[in-house]
Amino acid sequence: MKDKKLEEQHFNNKSTVYGPVTSWRLGESLGIDPIFVESTCSFNCIYCQLGNIQNVTDQIKEYVATETVINDFKEIIDAGKKVDVITYSGSGEPTLAKNIDEMISGIREITPDIPQMILTNATELFRDEVRKRILGLDKIIVKIDAPNEKIFQAVNRPAAGVTLEKVIEGIKKLKKEYKGVIEVQTMFMPLNKNETEDLANLLKEISPSLVQLNTPKRPYPMSWHRENRGNHLGITDYETRQLKVLSPEEAQEVEELLRQRTGLNIQSIYR
């Protein structure tokens, strides 16, 4: 890499707060990384932008100190950066962080008017204490890529003991308790395209405010860099592998079928 400054930005990112990154739906989204130390998730999705997850686990603990996150957040806000929304995501599954509730309330105190949301794989939502920790958020976006255990195992490659049944149980419990907006994000690939009918039935059952249809946008990195969390700076001088994606025509077919079968608000990245 020729530009030394870019190299430092790309590989030596030492902050638990990253961006803001421009999101296709949300505007300037400031990322909060409650995991940070290494990529850690209860899934190891075949399309993950972090690459092969280093620590596939459903262990809930403090991964990074709340104070570190709050100080990193203050630094960005004090620098006067434009932030439309705050998103908990980062180096893996954010609900694995036991102290995420402290981060949510600490950030709310500093910037009460900026909406806060989370991208979660929903694997831990069946636990009462995990749902309670995130009830203060404005929006919860849950990932559902599979309508059955077989596709769930093939696409999401979960930690031992994590099942789709528990994921659905968690989302249903959350729906009863949570006053904010629940959306679903679904990654469509050739592997789950033929599951659209069954997925439609599941989505109808969950009945979220919105279903976002995604497709892998970036090549799969063969190694982890902290900058994998946000927008790539257009630099991938490490090894990557191209992922199979749906053609725009296939994506449109999926979108139309889901809309017909569910009557839900469906939004596709292809549009």
DSSP string, 100-113: HHHHHHHHHHH-TT
Contact of 187 with 136, CB cutoff 8 Å: no
Regarding 16 and contact with ligand SF4 (CB under 6 A), the answer is: no
Residue 20 preceded by cis peptide, ω within 30: yes
CB atoms within 10 A of CB 99: 18
Residue 51: closest CA among 245, 246, 244, 241: 241
Regarding 93 and contact with ligand SF4 (CB under 6 A), the answer is: yes
Q: Give the separation between CA 37 and CA 229, rounded to whole angstroms.
A: 12
Regarding 58 and contact with ligand SF4 (CB under 6 A), the answer is: no
- Which of 17, 30, 48, 85 is the binder for ligand SF4 (CB under 6 A)? 48
| Token couple for 45 | 């999705």
From residue 134 to residue 163, what is the string marking binding to ligand SF4 with x (rule CB under 6 A)?
Answer: ---------x--------------------
- Which of 44, 66, 87, 214 is the binder for ligand SF4 (CB under 6 A)? 44
Nearest approach in angstroms of CB 4 to ligand SF4 is 30
Regarding 121 and contact with ligand SF4 (CB under 6 A), the answer is: yes
Contact of 136 with 105, CB cutoff 8 Å: yes
Nearest approach in angstroms of CB 223 to ligand SF4 is 14
From residue 170 to residue 209, what is the string marking binding to ligand SF4 with x (rule CB under 6 A)?
Answer: ----------------------------------------
